[in-house]
């Protein structure tokens, strides 16, 4: 599919569905967990969402997620299980079938909207899970790092958890605080600096700059890339985002020289997509 068309579909998807209020979202998932407690594949997905919500509420990074989609054979599984317990025509079996199948569309919507719940509740845009940050820490091998546009600081938090002795400067302009949850739930210490100012301050002290999920509006990401090329050509620039998709500007993707060396691919395997967004980590020049 044409990248522009795919990006349009994804934006339309995010715009059209309703973001469920955070408390009711979790309450509904818990109710569906009880309803579908006898169906392991369904309960597995619900439990993943509930577990990772609890981790985030506790200030911890979440775990990797499976595809948050109901299996294609869900109705067949339900039908077979009901038939194994109730003879055909038994009103109890019919009532259960109607109850389960009526609930499936809403449950499917909740699971598909899990990223929106994370954005709306925790200001988590990139799904920064602990396995990813552990692998990223190994890739960085203790080198000093500057994170720009850090939001609530999930990447820096994960790196500090894995290697408390690593030098990590975590910065964000905090200009999104009035618009959404970005910056309202810091999980580590964050210095209020815009991206260029942060590079000016720490550029001579770090080996890597990390940028995750730069907005697709504006061109600050492209400005950062040009600035690094001109003033700090030896710094390695790591970018987490969806190429020609939900993150970063058109100018950035059109001009960035992207690579994923073998050692970085090992990190990237922990950014497996669980929804429509296919985020990856790139080395950018």
Average pLDDT of the segment spanning 3-10: 47
Confidence of residue 194 (pLDDT cuts 50, 70, 90): very high
pTM assigned to the model:
0.87
* DSSP assignment string, 124-172: --S---HHHHHHHHHHHTT--EEEES-TTTHHHHHHHHH-TTS-EEEEE
Q: Confirm whether 235 is domain-assigned.
A: yes
Range of 149's domain?
Answer: 130-284
Torsion angle of the four alpha carbons 45, 46, 50, 51, in this order, in degrees rounded to the nearest 10: -40
What are the Cα distances from residue 47, in Å, to 57, 58, 65, 102, 181? Answer: 15, 16, 10, 21, 24
Tell me what pLDDT residue 10 has: 47
Of 86, 112, 138, the one marking the end of a domain is 112
Assign residue 215 the CATH number of its domain: 3.40.50
- The per-residue pLDDT for range 196-244, each reduced to its tens digit, is 999 999 999 999 999 999 999 889 999 999 999 999 999 999 999 999 9
Tell me what pLDDT residue 5 has: 45
Q: Confirm whether 247 is domain-assigned.
A: yes
Same domain, 89 and 172: no
Confidence of residue 179 (pLDDT cuts 50, 70, 90): low
- The per-residue pLDDT for range 32-77, each reduced to its tens digit, is 999 999 999 999 999 999 999 999 999 999 999 999 999 999 999 9
Tell me what pLDDT residue 175 has: 78
Same domain, 94 and 170: no
Of 44, 77, 112, the one marking the end of a domain is 112
Same domain, 209 and 236: yes
Tell me what pLDDT residue 178 has: 57
pLDDT exceeds cutoff 60 at 9:
no
Confidence of residue 19 (pLDDT cuts 50, 70, 90): very low
- The per-residue pLDDT for range 226-235, each reduced to its tens digit, is 999 999 999 9
What are the Cα distances from residue 10, in Å, to 157, 205, 276? Answer: 29, 39, 7
Instruction: Report the number of distinct structural domains present in the chain.
Output: 2
Same domain, 201 and 253: yes
Phi, then psi, of 240 in degrees rounded to 5: -105, 125
Same domain, 182 and 259: yes
Q: Confirm whether 265 is domain-assigned.
A: yes
Q: Confirm whether 117 is domain-assigned.
A: no
Q: What is the mean pLDDT of the chain?
A: 91
Tell me what pLDDT residue 181 has: 60
């Amino acid at each position: 599919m044409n990248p522009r068309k795919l990006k349009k579909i994804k934006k339309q998807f995010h715009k059209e569905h309703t973001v469920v209020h955070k408390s009711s979202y979790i309450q509904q998932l818990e109710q569906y967990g009880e309803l579908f407690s006898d169906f392991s594949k369904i309960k597995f997905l619900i439990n993943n969402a509930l577990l990772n919500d609890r981790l985030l509420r506790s200030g911890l990074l979440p775990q990797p997620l499976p595809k948050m989609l109901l299996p294609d054979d869900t109705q067949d599984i339900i039908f077979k299980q009901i038939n194994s317990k109730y003879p055909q025509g038994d009103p109890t079996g019919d009532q259960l079938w109607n109850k389960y199948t009526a609930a499936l569309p809403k449950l499917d919507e909740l699971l598909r909207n899990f990223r929106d719940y994370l954005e709306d509740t925790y200001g988590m845009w990139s799904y920064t899970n602990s396995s990813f940050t552990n692998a990223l820490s190994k890739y960085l091998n203790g080198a000093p790092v500057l994170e720009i546009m850090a939001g609530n600081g999930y990447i820096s938090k994960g790196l500090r958890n894995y290697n408390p002795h690593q030098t990590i400067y975590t910065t964000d302009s905090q200009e999104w605080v009035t618009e959404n949850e970005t910056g309202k739930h810091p999980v580590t210490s964050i210095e209020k600096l815009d991206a260029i100012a942060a590079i000016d301050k720490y550029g001579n002290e770090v080996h890597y700059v990390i940028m995750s999920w730069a907005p697709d509006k504006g061109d600050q990401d492209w400005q950062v890339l040009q600035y690094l090329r001109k003033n700090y050509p030896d710094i390695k620039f790591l970018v987490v985002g969806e190429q020609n998709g939900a993150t970063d500007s058109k100018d950035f993707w059109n001009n960035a020289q992207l690579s994923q060396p073998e050692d970085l691919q090992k990190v990237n395997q922990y950014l497996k997509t669980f929804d429509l967004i296919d985020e990856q980590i790139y080395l950018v020049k």
